[in-house]
Amino acid sequence: MKKILISLILLICGQFVCAAEVNIYSARKEALIKPILDRFTTETGIKVNLITGKADTFIKRIEVEGKNTPADILLTVDAARLVRAKDKELFQSIDSKILSSVIPAHLRDIDNHWFGLSLRSRVIVYNPDKVSSNDIIGYIDLANDKWKGRICVRSSSNIYNQSLVASLIAHHGIMETERWASKLVTNFARTPKGGDRDQIKAVVAGVCDLAIVNNYYLAGMLDSNKDEEVAAAEKVKLFWPDQDTYGAHFNVSGAGILKYAKNKDEAIKLLEYLVTIEAQQWYSDVNYEYPVILDVKISSILKKWGAFSMDTLALNLLGRYNSDAVKLMDRVGWK
């Protein structure tokens, strides 16, 4: 009887394909991740089911779903959210020689609960008609009186700004970072509003002379199919902060495998695929992000910005100091 059942299962799978699958809750927009997931499916036969949304919403959802969650992977666009998910014990430790060997230690969790998959930097863009690159030093210098009324940046509710402030707390402590943030706010050209592209456009429009943005927003404008975005982006320059000290602040898009993942093996295969040279090349060419592994050719736009020194601060600290950063920004009036 047992042999008959096995034969029947093999027959069914042969006719209808018993496909393996993996389910993702993704804070990345579908257009920025689905093409590479489709490649993974083509190469492995593993189907990927993708649901996109906000990271915090997914974290709460996973908590509520518990053992019944259909998700195998949580993918976010910031290390602080990954740390938050780990602190809530939503992830499991993954034993993967590939992930542990190719991803630098500061870009992954010390217990292998989450892994950075691509890099983005919080850089300074400036109007070269009003600012010389020799005038800019780094993040701390932006609190200097010479920048009074000349800086644009998005709101304190933005996770990228929170992580930048968290990194400064890790380097300089809360008191010094709060003094810096208090002075920085007085140098704002306007009340923070809009996204990073809006900050770049504000520099071009003369609202401010420089702005703090993620590098890939500028790259996206330079490669846009909208002539006005290309024209605007070509009028500003990118500056790598703190090249003589600890380097430019970097963050990651990254992922972890959930504690109650029902497709753990398939989930591991997907994360390992996302750090292959092919996938890392795709991140650079399409999303204008930097690879987390070595020996990957970066896109022509990223290459034009030249070499840089990257802050190698352990990214788990962005999560550890996130609440301190949020409270600090609120105290100094960073809207």
Res 295: pLDDT? 85
Res 5: pLDDT? 41
> Which of these, 230, 251, 238, lies nearest to 211 by C-alpha position?
238
Res 207: pLDDT? 98
Q: How far apart are CA 259 and CA 65, in angstroms?
A: 12
The domain limits of the chain are 21-119+251-297, 120-249+311-331
Structure tokens at 96: 């993967």
The DSSP symbol for 137 reads -
Q: How far apart are CA 197 and CA 269, in angstroms?
A: 35
Q: How confident is the model at residue 329 (pLDDT cuts 50, 70, 90)?
A: very high
The answer on pLDDT for 330 being more than 80 is yes
Structure tokens at 66: 């518990």
Res 32: pLDDT? 86
Q: How confident is the model at residue 18 (pLDDT cuts 50, 70, 90)?
A: very low
> Which of these, 280, 311, 310, 282, lies nearest to 295 by C-alpha position?
280
Q: How confident is the model at residue 324 (pLDDT cuts 50, 70, 90)?
A: very high
120-249+311-331 has the same fold as 21-119+251-297: yes
For residue range 129-173, list pLDDT tens digits in order.
Answer: 999 999 999 999 999 999 999 999 999 999 999 999 999 999 999
Cα–Cα distances (Å) from 166 to 117, 153, 259, 301, 318, in that order, read: 20, 16, 27, 29, 5
Res 31: pLDDT? 87
CB atoms within 10 A of CB 304: 11
Least confident of 3-12, 66-75, 322-331: 3-12
Provide CATH code, domain 21-119+251-297.
3.40.190.10
The arithmetic mean of pLDDT across residues 275-290, rounded, is 94
Helix axes 159-172, 174-186, angle to 10 degrees: 130
Q: How far apart are CA 240 and CA 102, in angstroms?
A: 25
> Which of these, 106, 174, 92, 187, lies nearest to 143 by C-alpha position?
187
Q: Given CA atoms 260, 266, 272, 274 in this order, what sign does their dihedral have?
A: negative
pTM given for the model: 0.89
Q: How many residues does the chain have?
A: 335
Res 124: pLDDT? 98
Res 13: pLDDT? 42
For residue range 191-216, list pLDDT tens digits in order.
Answer: 999 999 999 999 999 999 999 999 99
Amino acid at 171: H
Burial 134-152, CB ≥16 within 10 A → b, else e? eebbbbbebbeeebeebbb
Structure tokens at 134: 């020799």
> Which of these, 86, 67, 97, lies nearest to 271 by C-alpha position?
97
The mean pLDDT value of the chain amounts to: 93
- CATH architecture of structural domain 120-249+311-331: 3-Layer(aba) Sandwich (3.40)
Sequence-separated (6 or more) residues with CB below 8 Å from residue 57: none
Q: In this structure, are residues 248 and 144 in contact, taking their beta carbons and an 8 Å threshold?
A: no
Res 7: pLDDT? 43
The arithmetic mean of pLDDT across residues 84-101, rounded, is 97
Sequence-separated (6 or more) residues with CB below 8 Å from residue 9: none
> Which of these, 90, 93, 92, 111, lies nearest to 314 by C-alpha position?
111
Q: How confident is the model at residue 12 (pLDDT cuts 50, 70, 90)?
A: very low
